[in-house]
Each structure stands twice: as C-alpha cells, then as structure tokens.
Chain A
C-alpha cells in the first residue's frame, strides 16, 4: 500500500485507538488531579492530594508492599517451574513441540473466571482436597484452604504459567545449537554450558515471560476476589472497591499508582534482563 491515499487506511484504527484507548486514559489522569465532589463525577479544583493520600497512608503502602510480594512469589515459582518445562519443550522435535505449545495455549483462551472456579472446586470446604483427606481419615474438620493469600498465589501462578513457558520455549527453540556444541567441545560440562551459554542467551524470553506474568498479576481482580480472603486484597482490589464506591478522583489516582507500578517493573525487568554477551568480560 503506497501513496498519500494509503493514509486513509490507517485513519480508522488510529482514530479508534486515540478515542477509546489514549483519550480515556488521559481523561482518567486529568480526573485523578481533581478534588472529589458530592454532586458531580469530580470537583473543579486541581490538586495532587489524591496521590499524597495514597502514598502517605500506611494502609495503602502495606497493600502496595503485599502486591509486590505476591507478584514476586508468583514470578519466582513460575520461573522455577516454567524454565525447565520450556527447556523440555524446546528439546522436542518441531511437530511435537507445536502440539505441546498448543496444549499450553488452549488454557490461556479459557476465561480466568472458569480457571479460578476450577481452583475453588479443588480447594473449597467441600472441594477435592478436603474430601480426599477426609475419606482417607486424615482430617475431621475441613481445612481452610480457600480465601487465603496462598490460594491466590497458587491459582494465579498456574493461570499465568503458560505465558512463562511459551515465552522461554520460543527463545530456547530458536537458539543456534552450535553455541552449546562449541561450549561442550571446549570442555564445559552440561552445568557450565547451561549457566554460561544457554541461560544468558535465553534472557529475552525470560524477560518477556516475567513481564507478561507480572502485568497480568497486577490486573487479575477476578482471580483475587474468588480465591483470596479479606486479608489478601491487592492494589487492584482497592481500585475496584473505590470505583464501586464512586470515589472517582481517588479511584483514578489508585489506577495510576497501579500503572506506575507496572511501568516501573517493566523498566526494571527490561534493564535487569538485557540480552547479555555470551563471551562475558573478555571482549
């Protein structure tokens, strides 16, 4: 598509994204800088008080800390399980690798509410774990597994794990096997080859997997609401609660604190996991 008229092609998608994506976010930010109002959506006076109230409040700081802690645990476990799985997938012949990746892609298409319901059925008072333990005579009273932060971690980790595996497996499968062969020919054992060659070369996949898992953890309101209890609320739950309470400027500020967290984590992960040179220091 060439020529000046080609710009007519891009106008509909560009206009739509500007009006329905960029525009609403700018408006939300504008509202976050205003005072609250009883009669209207937001007051007239400009203020940064909404942000100060969140970042200066021990309650919200504790929620932010808990959000980061839960996200860090989910990232850690999904990397620990996901990396060896991705390695396994990458070693398979091409056709079987595609079949396994398809099997990993399918659960991502199932709505998160359905997958969270699966965990409710497993962890609930009448769930699979409790009835099995009771039938085995190990417990008399059902264990309280659901409505805990642990349930949120397990549920979210398994819901997001395929993203980690697919990202890393794609990078590993596209690596030139001659790198590993060269390392082994030069006398490195399997462990040294992995630590000094394979792992550094796979950092782009690790970075994109970690980013996806982190960003999706931040906005996973439904999973947290279904599996977590009142004490496992994360920042996204606060955003939802303040919207349903019609505290518009406060809700808007919370949303942008959440976005700030997402951007900071993105910058940090991208900087920490820049693709490194395999040969290391001796350039």
Chain B
C-alpha cells in the first residue's frame, strides 16, 4: 500500500469520526483504519508475487523470491544502469542480507546488525541504526558478525544480533522500541544471523547451531512488546525426539534454524528448516542407531518442521536426512508453496543437493529430485517415501573416496526463485567434493571453543570435472530441466525472477547477469566489482522499478574459493560492501 493511499483513507475515516463527535466513534475509526490495513498487508504477504514492496525475506509467504513488476523486462533490460549506491559501515565479511522495501523506502542490514533506511528512489539516508554489541564476544565467534536479513511488521523493523538478542526499531525514525535477549551467547557461543519471520503478531526467529553443542531453539515473540511467547528446541523438542538421541547426546545436539522459513495461512503452519546435529561427522559407521557420537535419528535436526505460530507446538515434520552424518542440513529457508493438479505442495531444497516436494497439509513426501550431479553420500533417495537408499556412513579414518557434495553443500543458503509466469524454478547448484578423515571427538563445553566437527577435510574437484556451479531452470515438482547456465565458481547470491521475463543472478566474481527467463539467454550484465553472497530484490519507488543488489564478499563458503579457484578471489576484498541499485536509463 502506498503512503498517500494509507493517509487518504485514514483522513476520510477521521473526518467521519469528527462528524459523529464521540470518543466511541474515534475508537471505532481506529479499528476501521487498522483492519483494512492489516487485510491489505496480509494480501500482499500471501500473494505469489512481490509487487511494489518486498515485504518479507522470501518476497511473500509463498517464498517465490519473485517480483510481479515488469517495467524492466527482457525487451529493455539492456538499458539498465546504476541508479544509486550506498556504502555500509563495518562490512566485515561483506554483505549477506536480503533488503526489504515498503512504501518506497528500502531497508537493509549489514554486519554487526547495522540497519539502514534509505529513500528507494534516490538512496538518500533516512536513518541508520547501529546496535551496541558485546564486541569482545563477537571477536570470539566464527559464524559472525554478518547478518542475513530483517523483518517488517506493525510499523516496526526487526533484526537479530550475533550476541543473542532481537531488536525492534520504529520504521519511520529508527528509534529502538524494544530489545529482548533470548540467548546467553557467552555460554552457547552462537546468536542470530537470519532474518525473522512475522506471522500475525508473532515474530519467529531461529538460533544458529549446527556444529555448536546447544539445542538449537526457535523462538516466538510478541511483536508489540518483544516478550517471548514460546520456544521450540530443534534438538529433542518433544519426548519422542529425545528418545532418538542415545547416551543423552541431545544435551550437545546442535540443531538450530538459522534461516527464516515461510508461513502457510491455509493450515496456520510455519514451515522451518532445521540445522544439522553436532558433531558434523560421526564415526559410527552403519551402526549409527546404536553407537557413535549421537546414536539414533537425532530428531528434529536436518528436518522440515511445521509449527503453530501462536503456540510453537509442533504440528508435523519430515526428517530429510535421519542421523545426518554429512552436514547436509535443512536450514535452507525457502519453502516454495504452489499448487499442482489440485494438490497443495511445498518445495524445499536440502543442502545435500536434493530437492524435496511435500504435501503441504502433512509434510508427506510427494517427490525428491537431485539438483546436482555429484552426490555419493547416498545412492539415491526414494522419491515416493523420502527413504535414504545406500547410505554412506563413515567410520573413523580417511574416507576411501571423496565425499560428494563437499561440506559447502550441493545447495547453499542463498534462495532460488520460482516464476508462476514460466512455471520454472531457478536454482543454483554446486558441484564439488571433499577428501575427509573422520576423527573421534569429545564435545567441548567451554564457551567459544565448542565447535565440534569430528573430521578434517579438504575440498576437491568432483569426479566428472572441475569444481563448478550452475543455474538451472526446472519444473519445481518433477525437477525436469529446461535450461542451464554454468559458472566456473558457484554463485552464492539469491536469484530473482521477475514478471518482466527476467532472471537475475549476481555471481561470485562480481558480475550481475540478467537472463531471459524462458531460455537462459544472457541479455545484460554489469560488474559490481566484488563478489555477491546476499539477496536481491525488486521494488517500486516514485512510479519506477528498481533492482537492489548487495555486493560484498566473505561468507564461510566464499572463503573456500581462494584454494579452489585462486584469482580473482585471492585478491578480492572481504571486509567491504555496497548496496547497488539499478533502474532503467531515463
């Protein structure tokens, strides 16, 4: 909703209130103005396409990362040029966040949870916010100090911090409204890097975890007060789940949910992907149900879970990889919600390189298809049941052949994009493997020294060629491929498809590509001068369409590129960044 429409409606309602001339009428007017605003916001959130605004991390609740705007299109994209640029302060590890846009204002976060509100048409700064963090703690963290996104709702902007807090800021002024500590990060080492998800009046955010020995909580907070409403442990969050961790290994189980999930209003379910158990690798071999570091299935790690947003109660789940012994977690946040043949489905990529398709009402597996070629941690996954066939459970010592994919995954946390116009899902895949020696370890409980890997490893090329990446355009349900573009180094940015029949890919070397969404033909490119490992959005401001791309290199996956590819990554600046915004030439 545009600002002037909102104020016009408020004005008309207020004049009616004056006419009635009573306090009761004023109260009624307030309700009348709030209700349609909420209804309109809800409609935008539930839409397939993000239109003028980009209201939530995944575009809308349907997670398409798709813009319905078509002012910039396949016919005129050759005229796209830089409209304005913004430089964030302290861009340690580059920029990794996905911006949001509302009513012509662009909001984005940088490292140390710094937040910027900018005029979407000109880039003029409206306000900035730099939270005071526990700097001593942050200096001791590995998966830090980057931030991957923010949320908007009820006039506030929300951001998590790596020292374990969630903050609410007034969208208009940047004034802090509340500050809630959820994690004692001095003890558990980790905090929050992922964007929150807002559902009605609840903010949902997942903690980092994985190789860190906590219980990986996901929290629900009251958006107005910041008060905690609920907490769900992705490690042993129910009695049933606790029984899947032998030797009380749930106490150091890892888990977490470090990227935001999505919301299905039809079943009132929040879908969230959970992280891997700790240690990353296990020495149990095929006897993993009874021996090793964490005997059993290790619920609810490496799973997709559906939570009631109001209570945090688990409704249903599917564990994508029971007893994940390869660090192929399910924390990739996108849950592409679509309908096919009258069936309501949700498509979710797993880090292993497999894409899972579920029945949206109960997480029953409808299909599983591989996005990447180089997979050998299993022989296959049964597309009807999701059962892992021919698991490769390692024992202590050097693995005979490299494990594929490598620790960086066949799929990383950057989101793909689904175009309802072409019916194609555009997704980055990664082809690489790693030499691996599994080591027995004991969980360390000393804060900041708790990383529990249980292996040493080295990334190597896969058997079928060099380590590489690709963007493929596929049917999201069957996985059937229509076209593919290959890259020497896998792009680590999210992808944006638009109604202008375009697919944008900001790549690792710094070049932004625009492809024809139908056939993958490159139509435009621009070098931003540094690699991308963040999001990409499109929005309207002052009647004009913009494409906003954070540039800035330095994620934990991108750090691998020096050894794999040499230049330009060896010389690429890591601790800098820029938000580069494009529009059509006047």
**A and B found bound together:** no
